[in-house]
Amino acid sequence: MTRTPRRTTRPRTPAALLAAAGLLAAGAVVAPAAVGSGSSAAGPALFDDFDYTGHDDGRLGQRGWTVRSGSGGPGAPGVGWAPEQVTFPGEGAGSVLNLRTSTDGTAAGTRQTELYHQRKFQQGTYAARVHFSDAPATGPDGDQMVQTFFTITPLDAPMDPDYGELDFEYLPNGGWGEPSHTLYATSWETYRPDPWEAVNTHTAARQSYAGWHDLVITVDGDSVDYYVDGRKFAAHGEPYLPETPMSINLNHWIISGGLAGSTVPRAYDQQVDYVYFAKDQTLTPAQVAQEVAAYRAAGVTHEDTVPGG
């Protein structure tokens, strides 16, 4: 896989770099993360700052990313996935991933978006900075959107014991029985699609999460822990720990049955600032912020030393 050359002398998050990145108050003291206690210096990591020119930028595929196209779930039968609506507004290291989902009120006129990485991630720390939207970028509101950051393995058979899935899912207009804004953290053991049977557990917060949020998921041998903006949001134990490697996914779609009645075209945006993963390490949200600041201070927009895939 072609990779951006790694800078071998990457700074280890001095306080000045964190302050410059807006992650530390001036004059504060930061103790360096010890090897083996949460620093990615101790093991393989993935960092992507989404410095791309568009959905057809060849570096995406070289670096393990797939921009989804074609059709298929989730969402209503007949919806399509639109690669051209996966964009990277901004310039250079300041760019972000934008996932635009649009509809004219019909399944055939609905275009959803997804970007996912190859399947090679299991225990460790997953993180992303995500902008959730409560209102459409254009047109009338009301569709039941799902804006996500999650990991997943394929379901090889109904109730497959090797299936795994860890979700952050934000519903700005409700859905799945929720009347309004809801953020879910859901951990899956397995499921059967027909007749539907799910083995999962979830934690929900019923409030608006519009705006930028730091999302972190940690997975070790005992627990899956979810954090939002530095605070623990959920903790799930067995039998919901992933048994096999997963892919990292970001998608934006409309719940089946969740299209609003209007025929006026509309579009909704979800944005992602970066994605980060540290293999076999349980990092705190503060340590994640330090690692991201160090990458950016060193001018590194992409690094992938995680084996497999």
298 within a domain of the structure (yes/no): yes
The pLDDT confidence band at residue 58, using thresholds 50, 70 and 90, is very high
Q: What is the pLDDT of residues 146-182, one digit of tens each?
A: 999 999 999 999 999 999 999 999 999 999 999 999 9
In a domain, 261, yes or no: yes
d(CA 88, CA 265): 22
Domain of 272? 15-21+38-304
Residue 33 lies in a domain: no
User: Is pLDDT above 60 for 33?
Assistant: no
* Interacting residues of 203 by C-beta distance below 8 A, sequence separation 6+: 184, 185, 186, 226, 233, 234, 236
Residue 2: inside a domain: no
DSSP for 136-202, written as a single string: -SBS-----EEEEEEEE----STT-TT--EEEEEEETT-BTTB-S-EEEEEEEEEEEETTEEEEEEE
Q: What is the DSSP string of 220-280?
A: -SS-EEEEETTEEEEEE-TT-S--S-BEEEEEEEE-TT---S--S-EEEEEEEEEEEEEET
CATH number at residue 300: 2.60.120.200
Mean pLDDT of 264-274: 98
- Would residue 110 count as lying in a domain? yes
**Residue 85 in domain:** yes
Domain annotation covers residue 256: yes
- Euclidean distance between CA atoms 305 and 309, whole angstroms: 11
In the chain, how many domains are there?
Answer: 1
pTM of the complete model:
0.87
The percent of residues in the chain predicted with pLDDT above 90, rounded, is 84
Is 27 domain-assigned? no
pLDDT at position 302: 97
